[in-house]
Structure 1
Amino acid sequence: MANSYFQGGVSSPSMNSGASVLSPTSPASATIPRSNALQNRITSVLSASYADLEIRDALSILDDRGVQNTAEARRNLRLDVQQELIECNGGIVQDFGKVADQLKRIGAAIQNLNASCAEMRKHVGAANRETGPMLEDAKTILNEKRQVETKQQLLDAFKAHFVVSDADLATLTSTAEPVNDAFFRILLRVKKIHRDSQVLLGSENQRLGLEILEQSSRHLNAAFQKLYRWVQREFKSLDLENPQISAAIRRALRVLAERPTLFQNCLDFFAEAREDILSNNFYAALTGAPVDQDHPVMGKAIELSAHDPLRYVSDMLAWAHSATVSEREALEVLFISEGDEIAKSIQTGIESEPWSRSDEPDAASIFDGRKALNQLVDRDLAGVFRQLRQRTEQVIQNHEDATLAYKISNLVVFYGSIFTNLLGEHSTLLETLGPLADTATRSFRSIIRDHVANLQANLAISPDDLAPPDFLVEALDVLQVLMKSYDTSIVTSDRTQRIEGFQPVMQEALDPFLAGCENITNRIRSPDNHIFALNCLQVTKAHLRQYAFADRTSELQFRIEEHESELTKAVHAWFLHESGLNMLVDNIATVDDLSSSYKDPNQLASIAQQLDAFLPTATEDARTLTRQLEDKTLSRRIIENAAERFCEDFEEIEGLLVQADEMRAAQVNGEVEEEVFLRDVFPRTGDEIRVLLS
């Protein structure tokens, strides 16, 4: 539209202008003004900014209304717009007139409604003035009703919580009623009442709280007294051998623990009863006489079946161990199977009974169920262990046997370790076994020392065959038994502890006898003293090395090597003396010492003859010399070492002889026809000596 509008508006003047310019008839004065006006119009049109929004909107509206760009349209455009605007305003005025009429009718309706509301307010006010007192009375009555209902509910709840019926009180306190689930249920309720009544003491109803607290305390005390007497009756008929112990007694003990005094009294009563029962059972097992006809003794009596004292003591300890295990298992069912309930109950009771607390600082805050169980087992078996100790001491005193006393000591120590694992290190039963083991050990030492004292006369007698003396052989046999007993009874696996534990026994049962052998050795002449010492040390070493904790190989081997060295020296000296070579070894140290032999070789020839006579039987004669040495391997080694030393001495003499002959030959240089050489007089060589002595 804009394009067509501008095109239509510009085309006509252009054509007219062109025509007037090209027309030859137009005057020049008329052509110039029209041309300037047209240019000004074109310039104004072209200088207009069509990017202006108002122009664009106006052109868009003209385009939408379908206005053509004609002269008439341009002339009438303003009039048409104004006429259209007047018509629109007239329509709006008519519409507002209708709205005014409607508002008038609405105002009349609102006035009527206000009049009706005012009339209704008058009637409502009159009704309120008439019914106001009645409503106030109704509210007061309803509030009072709610208060009464609340009080009734509180009263019902209070009675249901704090009041116990007569039937329940009879079940709780009457001894004629059984102790069953109903008893424990009512007891639990009364304890809750007693606990909750303390809350009332902090409220305004302190008198009511005190009355309920006092009443519940009486009921609880009566209930615990009934439970205490019932537990005592049950303990009298309780059979711990029955694995199906009543659950009621376990529950009763757990509840009774809330009264530590009553609980401890029950434990004391139970311990005394069990001590009597177990003591009687132990006596019956020893003698075979039954405690009563309903409980006969199973098997043979220990005194009749034990064929020796050690078996007798072992059977008694085994019976005590079996009884301890059975008693502990049964008491665990009674006191430990409920977990920590008894400990918690005792802790609660200690808090409610401050007078039952111990003087120890931790006793009131810590209760060890296992420790209490071990203490109860100790008390139950105290009578059994007293009898066992008396009878074992009688066995030790009646038998003067060192091995028996030591075996009993080891047996007691072995069972002591077992009881320690069962009952702990602080068990009172160990206080009985410990002195018993010490008594057996003292008896063992006393018997050994008396035996050593009795052997003082034998310690001065030297054996003819140089064999280990009878007292040493007997002591080693006894020590063999002691080592076996110690090995089977010791419980520790630490090698150092095992060695240290057996050293006192070695000092008592072996060292005195070795000292006696050493005294005998000092009184015997060489080489028999070394043979005797080696025989004693070798047999001792062989016995001790069987057990690692008694092995003294390092100590004995040093002494054996000393005597072996001395015996080797003695055999070596015998070789030199019997062969005659000792004269040469003692007198000849250099070549110059042989100068006299050239003048008189008879002495050297005599030694050579004695050597030749000695060599064929030298080894056999040496074996005869050491025939009393029991270790033949050692004997052979000693002879071989002595022979080796003899050969070395001979080779040294042989070397001096060769050097002397060489020096002699150099000095004579063939001037003497019949010069004597020492090798001719002493022809034996070192190789020949080694062959003959091998």
Structure 2
Amino acid sequence: MANVQGYVNDLSETFDHKLAVASAPQKSNALSNKISTVLSASYADSEIREALRTLDEKSIKNSAETRRKLRLDVQKEVIERNGDIIKDFGHVAEQLKRIGTTINSLNKCCEDMGEHIAAARQENAPVLEEASTLLGQKQELETKKQLLDAFNKHFIISEEELLVLMTTSEKVDEHFFAILKRVKQIYVDCQVLLGTENQRLGLELMDQSSRNLNTGYQKLYRWVQKEFKNLNLENPQISSIIRRALRALAERPSLFQSCLDYFAEARERVLTDAFYAALTGSSTENDQIPMTKPIEFHAHDPLRYVGDMLAWTHSATVSEREALESLFISEGDEISKGFQAGRKAEPWSAADGEVFDGLKVLGHLVNRNVAGVSRALRQRVEQVIQNHEDPVLLYKIANLVNFYRITFAKLLGADSSLLETLSSLEDSSLRQFRTVMSDTATSIQTDLTILPSDLRIPDFLDEALTQFAALMKSYDSSLTPASSRTADFEPILSQALNPFLTACEKLAKETEEPVTSIFLANCILAAKTTLSTYDFVQPRISDLDEQLASLSSTLTEYQHAFFLHTSGLHPLLVALASLDDSPDSLLKVPTLPTFQQQPLRDASQTLDDFLPSALMDAIQNLRGLSSMKLAQEITVAAAERFCEDFEFVEGRLGRVDELREEKGTEEEDGEGESDEEGAKEGEEGEDGEKEEGEGEKKDEVPLRSLFPRTSGEIRVLLS
């Protein structure tokens, strides 16, 4: 590049020199055009740069001679290079000729080989055709063999497997169920063969599979029956093979139902024998000693005897249900699925089309298993009911049976025969209870005696209330719904309480007040005390409260009358009650016999003698009442009414005195005018008028001075 740069610089200097020399216009412009072309070339042009780089690689010295020979040297070098290229192409052409010769040789060799191959193919064509046919036949035979092997493996049962499926000497195990499952699958798959052209094969295989299945199910049926005979449901680990056998046997509903019937009969015998063993300690099938004491030996109380039998029955039923659940209730409802599949095999066994319900069948089976226990239980409980006449015991037995009836309803459902037995026992107990109570009430009605001297409740009511308290306690512990407790207990009220209260009312009718009211009040108070503990008798307590209020009102009237008559206020009150409030009517009061001076003084004295011990005397009238609080309330109410009556008398007497005083004042004014006009009369006339005036003043003594007690004093003395 340094040489090229120097060459460019020299060229520029030469150009400048020539330009200076030829300042005037030249005749020929060839040189100027050439120089312009050179100078117009840019170094940035790629061709110029490439040319300059080539010159630089040749290491040409920048001199005038070299610049003159540069064109010739370049053309010479181009010619030499072209010669070398032509020489190299000559070698290539020679090699191509050799290759062409070789290719011709190969083509000739290939033609010869093709002729030999065509001849060999013509000779071997029959052999190849025969070999191809044999290979196709071989492939077809291999395919048929594979199909036959697969068919035999899938549709044909071996003799060993048939022995396991049919022979009773072979045990029922997992291998048996695997074979049974395979035979069922064969029977199902044979239906596919019926859709092919060879239906005979499908029919034969289906017939054979059906016979094998029936034989297998018969073996399974007999094995299940044998196992049921020795099955111990108390064992928490019941064999899984039995459960699987039942699920498989469900595909034959008739055999399955037959097994259930056999099982129910066997379990009924076992449970009935166990019930007798629990009662007596001895068994009909063995002489084993029971683990616990026999019920009949230690349950001397009838209620406990019945309760122990019911408790044993409940425990046995729960255990039976739990054990059967593990047998017949499975995850995925396998028995139900098998039952549905079995209907297709036995359409005559499911004519009703009812869907198999495992829980329903389980409840029905448990109910059948405890049928024998139910009969024995009914017989013994009825004996207890018929042999006892204690109403409390009978009602407690009814409530106990009701409790277990509700419990068994949740366990077995509403259609259980055991529930019918318990309902019958409950009705029988209540019927005996009503009979005993009716007989007791009848005997009381016919044997009524006189009232007790102290007016306490009679002995028959005391006993009845004691019994009734026991009945309410028993009823309160029952499972009767809260919404119907009051209504359901109403018959017991009418049978165990109302007849005795009616007898007390009949007994009280033979006496007079206040004995009648005090006696009935004592009876009602005792009944209220007994009933007040329980909510379900609140309506009856309200009725008793109303009766007691009526009796209290009667006793209040009696006490009020006692206050009026004993105090001497009654004549005054009666005399004043017949008059109205007009002045003319009130001015007649002093003329009445009751309000004359001496009778009024006597009434005042009688009142004074009565007041100090009035309350004590009044309460003494109610000494037979069992509630001192009620006696005080009645007396206080009567005393209040007496005070109101006294205020009425006091007010009327005060009003009479006021009216008399007003009238006296008017008469005195009138008498003064008469004295002035008759001042000239004689002394005898004056003496007579004085005596007459003194007599009138003497008759007009104020009534309040004769009857001085005030209502305030009365309230203080009676408080």
Partners of 1:222 and 1:558 in 2: how far apart?
83
- Give the equivalent residue in structure 1 for 2:412: 423
1:399-414 matches, cutoff 5 A: 399-414=388-403
Q: Secondary structure at the match of 2:382?
A: helix
- Give the equivalent residue in structure 1 for 2:264: 271
Q: Per the alignment, do residues 14 and 69 of structure 1 end up closer, same or farther by CA in structure 2, a change over 3 Å counting?
A: farther
Q: Is the 8 A contact 2:328 2:362 kept in 1?
A: yes
- TM-superposition CA deviations, 1:598-638 (whole Å, max 9, x none): 67444433322121111011111111111121111111111
C-alpha displacement at 1:437, in angstroms?
Answer: 1.4
User: Letter of the aligned partner of 2:105 in structure 1?
Assistant: N
**Under a length normalisation based on structure 2, what TM-score does the superposition of the two structures give?**
0.81
- Give the equivalent residue in structure 2 for 1:367: 356
- Give the equivalent residue in structure 1 for 2:709: 684
Out of 596, 619, 631, the residue aligned to residue 623 of structure 1 is 619
Q: Is the 8 A contact 1:657 1:678 kept in 2?
A: yes
Structure 1 window deviating more from structure 2 (77-86 vs 563-572): it is 77-86
Q: Is the 8 A contact 1:622 1:639 kept in 2?
A: yes
Q: Is the 8 A contact 1:290 1:297 kept in 2?
A: no
Q: Secondary structure at the match of 2:479?
A: coil
User: Letter of the aligned partner of 1:543 in structure 2?
Assistant: T
1:500-579 matches, cutoff 5 A: 500-518=487-505, 525-551=512-538, 552-579=540-567
Partners of 2:206 and 2:350 in 1: how far apart?
23
- Give the equivalent residue in structure 2 for 1:604: 600
Partners of 2:96 and 2:498 in 1: how far apart?
142
Partners of 1:59 and 1:234 in 2: how far apart?
116
Out of 154, 157, 166, the residue aligned to residue 164 of structure 1 is 157
Q: Per the alignment, do residues 57 and 222 of structure 1 end up closer, same or farther by CA in structure 2, a change over 3 Å counting?
A: closer
Q: Per the alignment, do residues 219 and 10 of structure 1 end up closer, same or farther by CA in structure 2, a change over 3 Å counting?
A: same
Name stretches of at least 5 consecutive residues in structure 2 with no aligned partner: 669-693
Structure 1 window deviating more from structure 2 (440-449 vs 95-104): it is 95-104
Q: Is the 8 A contact 2:280 2:294 kept in 1?
A: yes
User: Letter of the aligned partner of 1:680 in structure 2?
Assistant: S
C-alpha displacement at 1:339, in angstroms?
Answer: 6.8
C-alpha displacement at 1:118, in angstroms?
Answer: 1.8
C-alpha displacement at 1:356, in angstroms?
Answer: 1.3
- Structural RMSD (CA): 4.0
The answer as to 2:118 corresponding to 1:125 is: yes
- TM-superposition CA deviations, 1:27-79 (whole Å, max 9, x none): xxxx9867x999xx89x979x9989x9x9445545654469999999999998
Partners of 1:283 and 1:270 in 2: how far apart?
20
C-alpha displacement at 1:89, in angstroms?
Answer: 6.1
- Give the equivalent residue in structure 2 for 1:174: 167
- Give the equivalent residue in structure 2 for 1:378: 367
Partners of 1:692 and 1:103 in 2: how far apart?
167
Partners of 2:655 and 2:66 in 1: how far apart?
172
Q: Is the 8 A contact 1:591 1:656 kept in 2?
A: no
Partners of 2:621 and 2:10 in 1: how far apart?
164
Partners of 2:323 and 2:334 in 1: how far apart?
18
Q: Per the alignment, do residues 7 and 443 of structure 1 end up closer, same or farther by CA in structure 2, a change over 3 Å counting?
A: same
**Under a length normalisation based on structure 1, what TM-score does the superposition of the two structures give?**
0.83
Q: Per the alignment, do residues 85 and 399 of structure 1 end up closer, same or farther by CA in structure 2, a change over 3 Å counting?
A: same
C-alpha displacement at 1:269, in angstroms?
Answer: 1.7
C-alpha displacement at 1:516, in angstroms?
Answer: 4.2
Q: Per the alignment, do residues 239 and 58 of structure 1 end up closer, same or farther by CA in structure 2, a change over 3 Å counting?
A: closer
- Give the equivalent residue in structure 2 for 1:23: none
- Give the equivalent residue in structure 2 for 1:113: 106
Name stretches of at least 5 consecutive residues in structure 1 with no aligned partner: 18-30
- Give the equivalent residue in structure 2 for 1:326: 319
User: Letter of the aligned partner of 1:558 in structure 2?
Assistant: E
Structure 1 window deviating more from structure 2 (151-160 vs 517-526): it is 517-526
Partners of 2:333 and 2:259 in 1: how far apart?
19
User: Letter of the aligned partner of 1:474 in structure 2?
Assistant: E
User: Letter of the aligned partner of 1:610 in structure 2?
Assistant: T
Structure 1 window deviating more from structure 2 (100-109 vs 593-602): it is 593-602
- Give the equivalent residue in structure 2 for 1:307: 300
Q: Is the 8 A contact 2:190 2:202 kept in 1?
A: yes
Q: Is the 8 A contact 1:597 1:603 kept in 2?
A: no
Partners of 2:73 and 2:654 in 1: how far apart?
173
Q: Is the 8 A contact 2:41 2:48 kept in 1?
A: no
Out of 387, 406, 419, the residue aligned to residue 376 of structure 2 is 387
Aligned length in residues: 669
The answer as to 2:640 corresponding to 1:644 is: yes
Out of 421, 439, 453, the residue aligned to residue 450 of structure 1 is 439
Q: Is the 8 A contact 2:587 2:659 kept in 1?
A: no
Q: Is the 8 A contact 1:8 1:70 kept in 2?
A: no
Q: Secondary structure at the match of 2:445?
A: coil
Structure 1 window deviating more from structure 2 (64-73 vs 314-323): it is 64-73
Q: Per the alignment, do residues 81 and 543 of structure 1 end up closer, same or farther by CA in structure 2, a change over 3 Å counting?
A: same
- TM-superposition CA deviations, 1:165-223 (whole Å, max 9, x none): 33332332223333344433433333333333333333343322222222222222222
Partners of 2:510 and 2:77 in 1: how far apart?
168
- TM-superposition CA deviations, 1:470-512 (whole Å, max 9, x none): 4433332221221122223x124x4323223222212222233
Partners of 1:277 and 1:61 in 2: how far apart?
122
- Give the equivalent residue in structure 2 for 1:139: 132
Partners of 1:301 and 1:294 in 2: how far apart?
14
Q: Give the percent of matched residue pairs that are identical in Structure 1 and Structure 2.
A: 51
Partners of 1:654 and 1:7 in 2: how far apart?
168
Q: Secondary structure at the match of 1:456?
A: helix
Q: Is the 8 A contact 1:402 1:448 kept in 2?
A: yes
Partners of 1:523 and 1:90 in 2: how far apart?
173
Q: Is the 8 A contact 2:251 2:341 kept in 1?
A: yes
- Give the equivalent residue in structure 1 for 2:210: 217
C-alpha displacement at 1:8, in angstroms?
Answer: 4.6
Partners of 1:136 and 1:402 in 2: how far apart?
113
Q: Per the alignment, do residues 664 and 32 of structure 1 end up closer, same or farther by CA in structure 2, a change over 3 Å counting?
A: farther
Partners of 1:356 and 1:550 in 2: how far apart?
56
User: Letter of the aligned partner of 2:642 in structure 1?
Assistant: F
1:39-58 matches, cutoff 5 A: 56-57=45-46
- TM-superposition CA deviations, 1:548-593 (whole Å, max 9, x none): 2233333332332333233323322322222122344441664846
Partners of 2:212 and 2:193 in 1: how far apart?
18
- Give the equivalent residue in structure 1 for 2:679: none
Structure 1 window deviating more from structure 2 (646-655 vs 269-278): it is 646-655
